[in-house]
């Protein structure tokens, strides 16, 4: 009989850890975003924007955001190169839209998910961040959230009203509860992108 107080060494079994949060800054100010992170005791923000810059909200550009977070004791990590919603690889697109099933098959994305899993094993509270305020409209649910859901990793999406939502709730929002039970979901970005992708944000 196994010792319930001993951590499993089986790599197929995820250790018990805090949920992984996701958030999009959307219409929030930088101060409001930081307040939400602090209220949920987030220790590390993981930026999953392909391009971590904002013309309209420069305070959310990579360097400015990282400096502000550090002043509040929150670590910053950029992972948009592996987990971003607009990869440079042209094989990740269908009719100009980012095709999340195709992205999931790429080795760079799989490496990003594995890196994320390793981060979560440290039991620090982490949050994935992108620009879209509504989680059902963002790749953090349609791409990353679906990948982690399959792996049995709990996800807590903080929606545009700062309310915690499960992955299942968010996908129900997206599909209107009409998801086909017999076929795996296949989602794409809402927007179409130029023939040379990877220059904007999802």
Asked whether the beta carbons of 101 and 173 are under 8 A apart, the reply is: no
pLDDT for 11 equals 36
Q: For the chain, which residues score pLDDT lower than 50?
A: 1-16, 182, 196-202
pLDDT for 5 equals 36
Name all domains of the chain by residue range, CATH numbers in brackets: 20-192 (3.90.190)
Asked whether the beta carbons of 185 and 179 are under 8 A apart, the reply is: yes
pLDDT for 178 equals 64
Determine the Cα–Cα distance for residues 192 and 183; give it in Å rounded to an integer.
24
Report how far Cα 61 is from the mean position of its chain's Cα atoms. 17
Task: Report which of 114, 96, 111, 55 is spatially closest to residue 189, judged by C-alpha positions.
Answer: 96
pLDDT for 67 equals 98
pLDDT for 179 equals 59
93 forms bridges with which residues in the sheet? 98
Asked whether the beta carbons of 160 and 27 are under 8 A apart, the reply is: yes
pLDDT for 185 equals 60
Determine the Cα–Cα distance for residues 22 and 129; give it in Å rounded to an integer.
6
């Amino acid at each position: 009989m196994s010792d319930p107080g001993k951590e499993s060494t089986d790599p197929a079994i995820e250790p018990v850890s805090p949920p992984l949060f996701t958030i999009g800054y959307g219409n929030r100010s930088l101060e409001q975003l930081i307040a939400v992170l602090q209220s949920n005791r987030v220790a590390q923000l993981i930026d999953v924007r392909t391009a971590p810059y904002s013309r309209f909200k420069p305070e959310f550009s990579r360097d400015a955001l990282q400096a502000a977070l550090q002043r509040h004791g929150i670590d910053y990590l950029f992972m948009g190169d592996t987990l971003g919603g607009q990869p440079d690889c042209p094989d990740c697109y269908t009719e100009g839209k980012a095709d999340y099933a195709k992205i999931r098959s790429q080795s760079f994305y799989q490496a990003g998910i594995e890196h994320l899993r390793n981060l979560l094993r440290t039991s620090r509270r982490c949050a994935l961040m992108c620009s879209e305020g509504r989680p059902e409209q963002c790749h953090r649910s349609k791409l990353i959230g679906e990948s982690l859901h399959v792996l049995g990793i709990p996800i807590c999406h903080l929606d545009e009203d700062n309310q915690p939502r499960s992955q299942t709730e968010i996908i129900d929002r997206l599909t209107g509860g009409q998801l086909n039970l017999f076929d795996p979901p296949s989602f794409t970005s809402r927007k179409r992108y130029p023939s040379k992708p990877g220059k904007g944000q999802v």
